[in-house]
Amino acid sequence: MHRADTVRGGELSILAGRSHPRPTAPFLIHPAQTADEHRQYRRLRREAFVVDQGLFPCGDRDDLDDDPRTVVLVAIATDGAADGTVLGGVRLAPCTTPDIGWWTGSRLVADPATRIRGIGPALIRAACAHAESAGVLRFEATVQQRYQAMFTALGWDELGTCDVAGRPHTLMGWPLDQIQRVAQTTKSFLGDTLHPLLAVRGGLGPAGFVGDDGVPLPGSDIIAACDAIIPSMVERDPEWAGWCSVLVNMNDLTAMGASAIGLLDAVGAPSCSLLTRIVRGIARASQAWNVPVLGGHTQLGVPAALSVTALGRAARPVPGAATVGDRVRLTTDVSGGWRPGYHDRQWDSTSGRSTDDLTRMAGLVARMRPRAAKDVSMAGVVGTLGMMAEASGTGAELDVARVPRPDGADMGAWLTCFPGFGMLTADPDPDADDTDAHPASLPRGVVSDVCGRLTAQPGVRLRWPDGAVTHALRPHVTGLGRA
């Protein structure tokens, strides 16, 4: 629910003293909840678009009104005799079936009889907030040209012009940057922070593997990988943290085409109870992948901390860098569901898998033999694609409609979450890895499809079914540069 311009008069600020009172907007905005609210909204639409403006000779109702996915936001009067009256509304709906994160806003209307100002802009802001909270990646509206200035003032971008019912309209787009924000939070600091490590020859890995979680040890076929788990996650969900500490390392080895030899763990906890639960999660994962914990370091009476190092072997390790024109394939496990407590952030598809399934998945990249591979990290599918492009000295483009994903995940969440098991591979021939990645050779629930390509243009862009291309990521996701 949204209240426009809400400031309570007389509110005190401990630091700044008494605030300057500002009138509270006499309306609330929320999704239409009753048949009467929908009826009032449709009446306002008819009066505006059919009677007053003559845009639609018979009525403005269309297929979106019958789509159960359509959301109607209404502004409801909260003061005086008009309390409960619908003062305006707007509708939002997906543009495709299935929903791939491309939505449109339409039928924005405000009651011309009301003297309350700001209803239209408030509805627009509420629609933008709702779209972003729903994981929408592309949000557009076709508006009459006389309202273009209002949308521009609210931060919308002009995308083009068109005619609707013989009247000139402007196509406007709301800039959504959740993918950039995720990458900024999880990866953007790495280049500057890790730069001192380059002072020693071989720092941050050999050529082709600079900045990867896993690297080949010089002069051997040994692959080493290391990952740490966020302390807050260790404290909140210790057994899951223990499981994930093994999972992410196994993913690192998988992306390099390596077979696992063993693990080393470093665990700290403030209490024996928490320590026991962390180790229980590590042990369960060790058994599930049939990879032993060879040793490590364990400490009690300290803040929660967990990191694991994995060792593996690969005669020909797969690098993380490819070239312009290479096709990008996503192979991912769409079984399972959101981890409780981590909805839209962590997909759990591995904790219910058998050892046989996990072993086959761990050998996937070695069987595919691509030019390059990266496991999907906390930066999500798009962020990881951005890291592959950065390591390759290229840009990238992702075909949103072809991205494999679970039915229970919105596209916006799926492209920015940790998917449990996800591998991005790049190869010059889009069919080169089809034989060994064919669904018949993968465990049930693991799907694979070519859904992108590396480009000469820097950054990462999303390609949509109508041919439009939108910006998703700026270049230099990590700042580490070419691998």
Residue 8, judged by CB atoms within 10 A of its CB (0-12, 13-18, 19+), counts as exposed
- Count CB atoms within 10 A of the CB of residue 104: 18
Closest C-alpha to 370, from 447, 443, 316 = 316
Instruction: Answer yes or no: do 285 and 384 share one domain.
Output: no
Q: Mean of the per-residue pLDDT values for the chain?
A: 92
Gyration radius (Cα) of the chain, Å: 26
Q: Give me the CATH number covering residue 298.
A: 3.30.1330.10
- Pick the last residue of a domain from 284, 317, 350: 317
Determine the pLDDT at residue 81: 60
Determine the pLDDT at residue 165: 84
Q: Give me the CATH number covering residue 444.
A: 3.90.650.10
Instruction: Answer yes or no: do 313 and 329 share one domain.
Output: no
Mean pLDDT of 139-150: 96
Determine the pLDDT at residue 10: 43
pLDDT greater than 50 at residue 325? yes
Instruction: Answer yes or no: do 212 and 311 share one domain.
Output: yes
Residue 190 lies in a domain: no
Instruction: Answer yes or no: do 436 and 387 share one domain.
Output: yes
Total domain count, the chain:
3
Largest separation between any pair of C-alpha atoms in the chain: 83
Mean pLDDT of 255-278: 98
Residue 335 lies in a domain: yes
Give phi and psi for 259, each to the nearest 5.
Answer: -100, 135
Helix (H) or strand (E) holding 219: none
Helix 272-289 vs helix 238-255: crossing angle, to nearest 10: 40
Split at pLDDT 50, 70, 90, the class of 459 is very high
Instruction: Answer yes or no: do 13 and 137 share one domain.
Output: yes
Instruction: Answer yes or no: do 68 and 45 share one domain.
Output: yes
Helix (H) or strand (E) holding 31: strand 27-31
Determine the pLDDT at residue 115: 82
pLDDT greater than 90 at residue 222? yes
Cα separations (Å) of 205 from 214, 232, 235, 248, 263? 9, 29, 32, 19, 20
Instruction: Answer yes or no: do 276 and 369 share one domain.
Output: no
Residue 412 lies in a domain: yes
31, 73 Cβ separation under 8 angstroms: yes
Percentage of the chain lying above the pLDDT 70 cut = 92
pLDDT greater than 60 at residue 254? yes
- Name residue, tokens 């000139």: 168
Instruction: Answer yes or no: do 135 and 14 share one domain.
Output: yes
Closest C-alpha to 25, from 72, 88, 106 = 88
Instruction: Answer yes or no: do 297 and 326 share one domain.
Output: no
Residue 121 lies in a domain: yes
Q: How far apart are CA 137 and CA 143, in angstroms?
A: 20
Mean pLDDT of 311-320: 96
Percentage of the chain lying above the pLDDT 90 cut = 87
The residue ranking higher by pLDDT, 71 or 1, is 71
Residue 192 lies in a domain: no
Determine the pLDDT at residue 22: 58
Closest C-alpha to 94, from 130, 119, 125 = 130
DSSP states along 92-160: EEESSSS--SEEEEEEEEE-TT-----HHHHHHHHHHHHHHHTT-SEEEEEEEGGGHHHHHHTT-EEEE
Q: pLDDT (tens digit, 9 = 90+) per residue, 329-355?
A: 999 999 999 999 999 999 999 999 999
Instruction: Answer yes or no: do 400 and 289 share one domain.
Output: no
Q: pLDDT (tens digit, 9 = 90+) per residue, 2-25?
A: 544 444 444 444 445 555 555 567
Q: pLDDT (tens digit, 9 = 90+) per residue, 346-396?
A: 999 999 999 999 999 999 999 999 999 999 999 999 999 999 999 999 999
- Pick the last residue of a domain from 299, 317, 335: 317
Give the type of residue at 287: Q
Instruction: Answer yes or no: do 370 and 311 share one domain.
Output: no
Determine the pLDDT at residue 5: 46
* 23: containing domain: 2-176
Closest C-alpha to 283, from 251, 239, 326, 317 = 239
Residue 111 lies in a domain: yes
pLDDT greater than 90 at residue 37? yes
pLDDT greater than 90 at residue 129? yes
- Pick the last residue of a domain from 288, 317, 346: 317
Instruction: Answer yes or no: do 170 and 30 share one domain.
Output: yes
